Amino acid sequence: MNVKLKKPAETGLKSDKVWCHHELRFYLWDNLDPIDVFNLSDYDAVIISSQNVDLIKEKVKRFRSWSSSEIHLKPLFIIGSGSLINDPMVKGLVDGSLVSESHIDGIADVVRRIHSRKMKLDARLPSTFEGQLVNKLLGFAYTRSLEEINPVLNKESITGYVYPMLSINFLREEEGTQYQILNLMEEEGLLDGSFQDRVYICPSCSSGFLNYREVCSKCSSTHLHADDVVHHFPCAYIGPMKDFDSDGSGDLQCPKCDKLLHHIGVDYDKPSVVHTCQSCGQIQQNTPVHASCYSCETTVPTEQLQPTEIKSYTITKKGLHVAMNGYSNSEIDTDVVHGAVDLTTFSTILNMEVERASLLGSAKSCLGIINLHNVNQVYNQLGENGAYKLMTELVELVKSSAGRADMICFERAENLLLLQNEISLQEALNTLRSLKLLFNRLFEDRFPNGGVEIDTRSQLLTGGKNAQWHLNELHNAN
């Protein structure tokens, strides 16, 4: 047991909120703490301290839905009563709980294990939202050694089921999208699904909160009255129950022969049920069932509801590979783009450059990135050959603005890396700024409806850190 307080000056945070245990630093995130989530990236783990379940939920959701893997993959615990994590959603998102500060030793190994696995991950951020979610889900499962991603029944979910690490990234009304992501991952062989349940969701808003009602086949009114049909054997009169109980006394008397009905099955029976619409008077027996959505108020016949299979997923080998190496939803092989080097070569040269910078001390080199958001739509439009031509053209544009010795690499089809030697950060940023203008002009002129958005970043190389570290830093920089 080795808990000590961190000095306030080192974090700028209140010292009683930071617990140290050996090399690990834990941040105690309590009820009234106004800290921004991104400030928690400096700590090895976060412990939520609250007795308010709703507040815990909110904090957990905010934490895990954060875009940077430095936050959303960070170990997260709850301190206090174990009952606080009975909520299945919270349970799926935290790494455990501890009763008091003295139990911190019990979670230290968990933190170390998560960090150790996290280091093996590719921290690059895919340009598409879907790609980011795929990475997030696989990364979370990998760092927690989860073999399965299981659905959790949740009455607060719009569809009735949640996959905690995925669902928290959506607004409640957009939760239906989680199934599209999971289907995509299954189609791409990252996950292997096994059937658990089937839910029917609103085709308009994907909500599973539906009110099923029998409606009139003619006017769709729900104001229906069901009546047993009574058959009086002796005289063959047959009609709704109300015909036989016209005075409401409960005694059944045949309107045709005036005889009292005695025993069902002996002198009368009830061979069917008939519904009468109280709005339009339509008589019917097979009333259609419509589902009315509580969320968007759309009403549709049940046949038009969208059946959605709820599955448990196991992560495939391919999924594990993607978890560690990052996900790209483009099938383009970026290693063969003319004028650019492949990622392995680029990483090797980057490592050498870092080493050179460390040795020389004064050497300045910058690593930059140009993200091409939504560029996959343009690639799809162009086809494979057209996409390669465009990528080659982009490389030529970069070459025209960069130095002759600078290295260019398509990390993925959606981003370009640029290693610029002997250059200040400001100069590097200027180069990227002018490239952004050129790229924007190119895409606006040729693909005005493509929706491609460009953003750039650059950073100075830091001695003692490897290529992977630099790439992670570049991706995680806001």
Residue written as token pair 């050179």: 356
The answer to whether 229 and 240 have CB atoms below 8 angstroms apart is yes
Nearest to residue 106, comparing CAs of 82, 129, 87?
82
In the complex, least distance from residue 308 CB atom to another protein, rounded to whole angstroms: 27
Among 70, 87, 95, 243, binds another protein (CB under 8 A): 243
In the complex, least distance from residue 269 CB atom to another protein, rounded to whole angstroms: 6
Q: Which is nearer to another protein, 83 or 286 (CB)?
A: 286
The answer to whether 136 and 163 have CB atoms below 8 angstroms apart is no
The answer to whether 135 and 327 have CB atoms below 8 angstroms apart is yes
Among 35, 184, 238, 324, binds another protein (CB under 8 A): 238
Q: Which is nearer to another protein, 189 or 281 (CB)?
A: 281
Angle between helix axes 343-360 and 467-476 (nearest 10 degrees) is: 100
**Cα separations in angstroms, 478 against 39, 217, 299, 469:** 12, 57, 44, 16
Sign, Cα dihedral of 127, 133, 137, 143: positive
Residue 233 found at the interface with another protein (CB under 8 A): yes
In the complex, least distance from residue 240 CB atom to another protein, rounded to whole angstroms: 8
Q: How many angstroms from the chain centroid is the CA of residue 266?
A: 63
Positions 20 through 49 that interact with another protein (CB under 8 A) = none
For 316, residues 6+ apart whose C-beta sits below 8 A from its C-beta are 189, 190, 191, 192
Q: Which is nearer to another protein, 285 or 345 (CB)?
A: 285
Determine the Cα–Cα distance for residues 410 and 414; give it in Å rounded to an integer. Answer: 8
In the complex, least distance from residue 138 CB atom to another protein, rounded to whole angstroms: 48
Binding piece for another protein, criterion CB under 8 A, among 8-16, 161-169, 249-257, 302-310: 249-257
Q: Which is nearer to another protein, 231 or 436 (CB)?
A: 231
Q: Which is nearer to another protein, 276 or 351 (CB)?
A: 276
- Counting residues that bind another protein (by CB under 8 A) gives 24
Binding piece for another protein, criterion CB under 8 A, among 150-158, 233-241, 364-372, 470-478: 233-241
Q: Compose the 254-293 pattern: x for residues touching another protein by CB under 8 A, - for all others.
A: -xxx---------x-x-xx-x--------xxxx-------
In the complex, least distance from residue 237 CB atom to another protein, rounded to whole angstroms: 6
For 266, residues 6+ apart whose C-beta sits below 8 A from its C-beta are none
Residue 362 found at the interface with another protein (CB under 8 A): no
Q: Which is nearer to another protein, 239 or 403 (CB)?
A: 239
For the chain, how are helix, strand and coil distributed in percent, rounded to 5?
40, 25, 35
Among 236, 361, 362, 449, binds another protein (CB under 8 A): 236
**E strands in 145-267:** 148-149, 152-153, 161-162, 191-201, 210-214, 224-232, 237-240
Positions 172 through 231 that interact with another protein (CB under 8 A) = 217, 229, 231
| Count helices and strands in the chain by DSSP H and E runs | 14, 22
In the complex, least distance from residue 243 CB atom to another protein, rounded to whole angstroms: 8
Binding piece for another protein, criterion CB under 8 A, among 109-117, 149-157, 196-204, 239-247: 239-247
Determine the Cα–Cα distance for residues 438 and 394; give it in Å rounded to an integer. Answer: 9
In the complex, least distance from residue 213 CB atom to another protein, rounded to whole angstroms: 18
Residue written as token pair 């615990």: 77
Report residue 204 as tokens: 């308009």
In the complex, least distance from residue 290 CB atom to another protein, rounded to whole angstroms: 15
Helix or strand or coil: residue 84? helix
CA angle (77 as vertex; 168, 136 as ends), nearest 5: 35
Q: Which is nearer to another protein, 204 or 217 (CB)?
A: 217
In the complex, least distance from residue 214 CB atom to another protein, rounded to whole angstroms: 15
Binding piece for another protein, criterion CB under 8 A, among 23-31, 250-258, 380-388, 426-434: 250-258
In the complex, least distance from residue 219 CB atom to another protein, rounded to whole angstroms: 15
- Per CB under 8 A, residues contacting another protein are 217, 229, 231, 233-240, 243, 255-257, 267, 269, 271-272, 274, 283-286
